[in-house]
């Protein structure tokens, strides 16, 4: 299988990067091909220009490559911190530019404007790993867990990926090395279970 891993955290020594390394290692150990993108390290341009909005608009070479890799992936793993109940702007820009119409989904012709999507991605499973400094219980009760809705319904749901699993690790700022080790083992088990 070909697994696409995308990590978005400005700190190269972040726990998000440790999650990406653990996921990559587990996938390679199972014999999968892995494509890993560290959006900050690669200096991915997250700005969607007006010219690029149309399905038929030209993309730059970098975005075109990301689109091809996304379209060819058998599985997708996204890793990012929870910043204000959202992914970092870098990752949001990647979604805007790469998980795009004509690549990840299309709309039914003559749908009268209601926007009925048809998924185009080969991948049937997407995993999302988040880190947070907000306890999960508070995230759910106080904020309604916006990342769950965003990834499962708004993004991968629109692309008709039905098998979406999201896991949050935290509270990062007070976590111990032992907790982090356990969490990384959980990442390895989770990716191995799904792929």
Per domain, the residue ranges of the chain are: 2-194
Structure tokens at 96: 């805007």
Q: Please name which of 158, 152, 148, 6 lies closest in space to residue 67, comparing C-alpha atoms.
A: 6
What pLDDT score does 143 carry?
A: 81
Which stretches within the chain are classed as H helix?
15-29, 61-72, 89-98, 136-143, 146-149, 177-194
pLDDT (tens digit, 0 to 9) for every residue of the chain, 195 residues total?
Answer: 999 999 999 999 999 999 999 999 999 999 999 999 999 999 999 999 888 887 677 679 999 999 999 999 999 999 999 999 899 999 999 999 999 999 999 988 777 667 778 999 999 999 999 999 987 788 778 887 899 999 999 999 999 999 999 999 999 999 999 999 999 999 999 999 999
Give the right CATH number for 2-194 from 1.10.3720.10, 3.60.150.10, 3.40.50.360, 1.20.120.1200. 3.40.50.360
Q: CA 153, CA 164: separation in Å to the nearest integer?
A: 9
Residue 162 neighbours by CB under 8 Å, 6+ apart: 124
**Is the pTM above the cut of 0.75?**
yes
């Amino acid at each position: 299988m070909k697994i696409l891993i995308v990590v978005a955290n400005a700190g190269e020594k972040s726990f998000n990067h440790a999650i990406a390394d653990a996921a990559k290692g587990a996938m390679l150990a199972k014999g999968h091909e892995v494509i890993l993108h560290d959006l900050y390290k690669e200096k991915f341009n997250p700005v969607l220009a007006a010219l690029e909005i149309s399905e038929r608009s030209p993309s730059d070479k970098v975005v075109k490559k990301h689109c091809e890799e996304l379209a060819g992936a058998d599985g997708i793993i996204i890793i990012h911190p929870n910043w204000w109940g959202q992914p970092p702007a870098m990752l949001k820009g990647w979604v805007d530019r790469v998980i795009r119409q004509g690549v990840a989904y299309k709309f039914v012709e003559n749908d009268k404007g209601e926007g009925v999507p048809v998924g185009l991605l080969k991948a049937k499973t997407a995993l999302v790993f988040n880190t947070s400094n907000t306890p999960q219980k508070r995230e759910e009760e106080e904020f309604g867990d916006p990342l769950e809705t965003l990834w499962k319904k708004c993004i991968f749901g629109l692309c008709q990926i039905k098998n979406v699993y999201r896991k949050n690790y935290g509270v990062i700022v007070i976590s111990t090395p032992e907790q982090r080790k356990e969490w990384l083992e959980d990442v390895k088990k989770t990716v191995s279970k799904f792929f």
